Amino acid sequence: MPGNDVIREIVIVGGGSAGWLTAAVLAAAHRPDARGGLRITVVESPDVPTIGVGEGTWPTMRDTLRGIGVSESEFFRACEASFKQGSEFRGWVTGADDDRYFHPFVLPHGYTQANLVAGWLERHPERPFAPLVSFQPHLCARSRAPKQATTPEFAAVANYAYHLDAGRFGEFLRTHCVERLGVQHVVDHVASVTSAENGDIAAVELATRGTLAGDLFVDCTGMKSLLLGGHFGVGSIDQKHVLFNDRALAMQVPYADQQSEIASHTISTAQRSGWIWDIGLPSRRGIGHVYSSAHTDDEAAEAELLTYVRRSDGPTDLPSPRKLSFRPGYRERFWHRNCVAIGLSAGFIEPLEASAIALVELSAAMLSDQMPVTRADMDGVARRFNDSFRYRWERVIDFLKLHYVLTRRTDTPFWRDHLRAESIPERLQELLALWRYRPPSRYDLVRVDEVFPSASYQYILYGMGFRPDPSARRARLDELDSAEGYFREAADLTCRMLAGLPGHRELITHITRHGLPRI
């Protein structure tokens, strides 16, 4: 049985966004110079490149950055960052030129006060749902920023997250961790793993620096999963039968005009056997094609990607895109004995809705909040951690699959296969049956820490053309009038926001030159 040894030494194997973000969250809460603090060491191989695909974040990142004590202005300057206010989906429903809808970060106006869905269906069925109930799609369409130059750091006029350069973000976090949070940085290869008598990891053996012992090890070694997968042999739960995409081609595309406006949302454009992401940063766009190798080949996928770039004002003399392969799925356990996997070592599902970095944030936060005091406490914490993240990964998969199961596209096997009942998780099928008669609500998503709120499900459902059964309960006149009032308020907010908020590039330029006010 594990003993009562006090947990003092945390060894994080692997850097990048996952390793350094985890180190920052832990070090900010458990400072090594504080009483009962933790000594945190990050071991980073000198030869392992950052994957750098996931350049999108969730609004939770604002609280994370503020919590670890960084300046938002310095973050923008160092990480080639821009604002993200949601996602726009093009071509996912029918594939037509006018097929597009928004998933904004702002809740529908009056979301908890009125039956907005009934009001929309009864009074405005011809209008898209999101632009009727929220001002934010209009800000995105006009490339407006989500705040003003006088708005303090991390405060928002409209809810927002970030787009960023993943490589620069890792370097920014590393500097902050080492210089301000007391994290130790070791650049070396892990040659082997040494086991303790009880089966825990006792130490990692480094190629040049010898033995590095620890009490708790965090596996941030990417898809290789050197510790949890390699050493302990914890397998993965495959999800390719649900979400087919397993390849990506990524490239960096400079602007034809460096003064052109920057999109303040992620653009996801459906293709024949996958979809293309388009993310605007200050000096370039990050563009990539995610696709299923069972439905197309690399050459055809690259041709579609290059066609997209040319049609969207990109240059013609681009280098070949970087190819990435992955197997969609997640670990059978995320915490085994004294080893926790965070980031790609825990799992990866396609980058739709930018869940990868968000799951790193959530994992690091729970690890920090639930940090066991002794080894005897660890197994109970591990059970709760595994239960929580198994649930979260399953909800991520449900939500991503939702984007596919409502399509009306039948032009290729990829889209037709997504409609097969055997590819749709049972829980999602049950929810879709329920939502035929009433909108998604908090009663359908019962955990306090749900990954996606019910409003997000509404944006995707109704953006994809899902409509409740006509036999569902009809709303009363007072309910319809209440919803109508909120629609008018949302329209008024839209006018005021468009008039009062600066352009996206204008605000980023101001931040890099002058910074934002600090509270």
Q: pLDDT tens digit string along 427-468?
A: 999 999 999 999 999 889 878 788 999 999 999 999 999 998
pLDDT of residue 1: 39
Please report, rounded to a whole number, the percentage of residues in the chain having pLDDT higher than 90. Answer: 89
pLDDT of residue 264: 97
Burial of 46 (0-12, 13-18, 19+ CB in 10 A): exposed
pLDDT of residue 313: 79
In order, the DSSP letters of 24-78 are: HHHHHHS-TTSTT--EEEEEE-TT--------B--THHHHHHHHTT--HHHHHHH
Residues 444/431, Cβ–Cβ less than 8 Å: yes
pLDDT of residue 25: 98
pLDDT tens digit sequence for 189-230? 999 999 999 999 999 999 999 999 999 999 999 999 999 999
- As a whole number, the mean pLDDT across the chain is 95
Residue 132: alpha-carbon gap to chain centroid: 26
Helices (H), 419-501: 426-434, 454-463, 477-500
Residues 6/23, Cβ–Cβ less than 8 Å: no
Domain boundaries, the chain: 9-80+162-240+328-395
Residues 228/331, Cβ–Cβ less than 8 Å: yes
Cα(19)–Cα(29) distance, integer angstroms = 16
The fold of the 9-80+162-240+328-395 domain, in CATH, is: FAD/NAD(P)-binding domain (3.50.50)
Give the SS3 label for residue 185: strand
